[in-house]
Amino acid sequence: MTTRRAKARWSNAVMICRKCSKKVKGGFGPEGKQTLAKALRKQLQLGKGPKSGAGIMEIGCVDLCPKGAVTVIDGRTPDQWLVVRPGANLDGLAHELGLKGKTGSMH
């Protein structure tokens, strides 16, 4: 056998372009200094790794490169990418992405 399965507690997987995040130099969170991935994790009180309630991960460039924004891919709908501008409402974005906080309730 060349593969084996590993379990995760994720309800959803969200992929965020790392290159876009670097280009906008943060822009998210209360003071606008965090990357989108970090701000979402903090807003929803999620950690990292397979024990987290959802997977929010930064990935390599996806070649969409929106000016002044970050490309986000929702694992539930990989054919419909989101373009998120700095300062976006994180509660609204979390709801749109189907992400739940640590308590299990939608933010």
pTM of this prediction?
Answer: 0.89
Q: In the chain, what is the straight-line distance between the N-terminal and C-terminal CA atoms, in Å? A: 42
Domain ranges of the chain: 13-96
Q: Provide the residue-wise pLDDT of the chain in tens; the chain has 107 residues.
A: 799 999 999 999 999 999 999 999 989 999 999 999 999 999 999 999 999 999 999 999 999 999 999 999 999 999 999 999 999 999 999 999 999 876 554 44
